A and B are shown apart, each in its own frame.
Chain A
C-alpha cells in the first residue's frame, strides 16, 4: 500500500465516511516532522489537510502530542493556529506517530534566504507578527488543552528548566567540544533572570520562517508548535529576535520591523512589560537553544546516514553562524 492508500484507509476509519486521498505531496519546512499536503474527497466534499508524521531521524526530539494540544489550545483564538483534527501517537497505520490538521490555503512563508522576504508589506506583517505573539502570551492558561501534557513550572524556575534541558541536549549530542556555547551556558547560570511576570504558553519556535502570510500584510497561519511549553513569555520574544533570522546589518527583526516598534506592539497585545535585563538573558539563552538544536541536527544527520541535506545545513552552516552570534554576545553584549 502507498502512503496515500494507508492515509485514505485511516481517514475512512476515523471519519466513518469512505474517503479518497488525492494530490499527496511532501512539502519542505518543519524539519522535525515529515510534512505532507493532501486533498480528500469524501462523497462530494473536497477538503485540504496537512499530515505531520515523525521522521526516522529528527532535528529535535519533540512530543507530537504537545504540538497537537498546543494547536488545539489556540485554534479559533485569533492567533492563526490551524485546526488540529486527529492524533495517533502509536502511528500504526502510517508506520510512525502522526497528526492531521486542516490546511490553510492562500498563504506563503517568507524565505529565510531572501533579502526582503516580505517586500513592501514588511511593516504590516511585523506588527501582526508581534501582536499574535503578544496574544499568545496573554492567553489565560486555565482550561487550555496543552495543560494535559505540558508541565507547569514555578515562575522562578522557567529559566532553569529551559537552560537545563538545552544544555543537556548539547552535552548529549555534541561531537566536538564547543567552548563558545559552554561559556554562554555558564554566564546564564551565573546571572539568572527575574521570575516570569506571568506563566504563558510559549510557542517555542516563533520566528519569521514559521508563519504564512497573505501578501497583503496579514498572517494566515502560525505553524511549527512542536516546541510549545509553559514558561516565561519573554522567551518567545527573545527567540524571534535572534540575529540568526535577520540579515546582517538590518536593524529590523527578521526584515520586518525595528525592535522598538516590535516591543510596543508586543506590550500592547500581551499586557506585559519588558525588563531589559530579563530580555537580555533570554536573548543569550535563545542563541544557546539554537546551538543545541543545530548540534542535534548534526547528530541526527550522522545517525540517519547523512542523507538529509536540511540536517547537514543546520548542523554545519547554521551552527557556525550561531557560534558567531554567541561569541559576539559574550564579548560585547551591547552590540549583539
Chain B
C-alpha cells in the first residue's frame, strides 16, 4: 500500500530541514510549504482512522479466509486456514502493516483462484471487499480541495 503514517510524519520533519538551493524560493517554496501543510492535515485523519482501518481489514480478510478455505485446493486452503487463526495483538503501525501484507498476499492468491475456478460469487465478494478496503483507507482533502 502507501507509506505508513510514521514515515509520512518523519518525512515532513526531514523535508522541513532539507537544504534548498537559492533558486528554490518564492512561489516554489510557498507551494512546497503548502504541500507540507496538506500532508499534516491528512496525517491527522490517518492518525484518527488508520489503526481502525487496518484492524477491520485484517479481521475481515481472516474471516473470509476461514469461511472459504475448505473450497480451495490443498495448498491454498491450508495457508488460508493458518492465516485465519491469526489475531492482531500488537497495535504498532509496523506490526499491523506486516500482518496486513501477509493477508493481502493471500487475498491476491484467493482472488486469482476465484477467477481461475470461475467462482463468480466469491469474485463479487472480493470485489466488494476491495471497495470497502479502499473506502476505509480514504483520505479527504479539506473542503474546497480535491484531486
Indicate if the CB atoms of B147 and A309 lie closer than 8 Å. no
Q: Is A17 an interface residue, CB under 8 A from the partner? A: no
Q: How far is A113 from B42 in the complex, measured between Cα atoms in Å?
A: 14
Q: Is A15 an interface residue, CB under 8 A from the partner? A: no
Indicate if the CB atoms of B12 and A309 lie closer than 8 Å. yes
Contacts of A172 in B (CB 8 A): none
Q: How far is A309 from B135 in the complex, measured between Cα atoms in Å?
A: 24
Q: Is A180 an interface residue, CB under 8 A from the partner? A: yes
Q: How many A-B residue pairs have CB under 8 A?
A: 152
Q: How far is A26 from B26 in the complex, measured between Cα atoms in Å?
A: 9
Q: Is B111 an interface residue, CB under 8 A from the partner? A: yes
Indicate if the CB atoms of A26 and B3 lie closer than 8 Å. no
Q: How far is A190 from B131 in the complex, measured between Cα atoms in Å?
A: 21
Query: Which of the segments A73-81, A133-141, A158-166, A298-306 contacts the partner chain?
Result: A298-306
Contacts of B112 in A (CB 8 A): 186
Near B by CB (< 8 A), chain A positions 176-199 give 176-180, 182-183, 186, 190
Query: Which of the segments B33-41, B73-81, B82-90 contacts the partner chain?
Result: B33-41
Q: Is A13 an interface residue, CB under 8 A from the partner? A: no
Indicate if the CB atoms of A317 and B145 lie closer than 8 Å. no
Given A302-B3, A320-B138; A179-B130 close (CB under 8 Å):
yes
Q: How far is A28 from B131 in the complex, measured between Cα atoms in Å?
A: 33
Q: How far is A320 from B147 in the complex, measured between Cα atoms in Å?
A: 11
Given A176-B97, A177-B108, A298-B3; A310-B35 close (CB under 8 Å):
yes
Contacts of B42 in A (CB 8 A): 316-317
Q: B15 is contacted by which of A306, A321, A328 (Cβ under 8 Å)? A: A306
Contacts of A308 in B (CB 8 A): 15
- Mark B2-21 against chain A: 1 for CB-CB distance below 8 A, else 0: 11000110111011001001
Q: B147 is contacted by which of A26, A28, A112, A307 (Cβ under 8 Å)? A: A112
Contacts of A331 in B (CB 8 A): 124, 127-128, 130-131
Indicate if the CB atoms of A309 and B10 lie closer than 8 Å. no
Q: B134 is contacted by which of A302, A315, A327 (Cβ under 8 Å)? A: A327
Q: How large is the interface on B (under 10, 10 to 19, 20 to 34, 35 or more residues)?
A: 35 or more
* Least distance between A111 CB and chain B CB atoms (Å): 9
Q: Is B71 an interface residue, CB under 8 A from the partner? A: no
Q: How far is A227 from B44 in the complex, measured between Cα atoms in Å?
A: 34
Q: Is A4 an interface residue, CB under 8 A from the partner? A: yes
Q: How far is A53 from B33 in the complex, measured between Cα atoms in Å?
A: 22
Q: Is B32 an interface residue, CB under 8 A from the partner? A: yes
Indicate if the CB atoms of A247 and B2 lie closer than 8 Å. no
* Least distance between B23 CB and chain A CB atoms (Å): 5
* Least distance between B78 CB and chain A CB atoms (Å): 20
Indicate if the CB atoms of B144 and A3 lie closer than 8 Å. no
Instruction: Give 15 A-B pairs besides A25-B28, A302-B7 with Cβ atoms closer than 8 angstroms.
Output: A3-B23, A112-B146, A113-B141, A114-B145, A115-B146, A176-B101, A177-B105, A182-B108, A183-B108, A302-B3, A305-B14, A309-B15, A312-B3, A316-B139, A320-B138
User: Can you show 19 pairs from A to B with CB atoms below 8 A apart?
Assistant: A28-B32, A113-B145, A176-B100, A177-B107, A180-B133, A183-B127, A183-B130, A245-B147, A302-B7, A305-B14, A306-B7, A309-B15, A309-B39, A310-B32, A312-B35, A317-B38, A321-B138, A327-B135, A331-B128
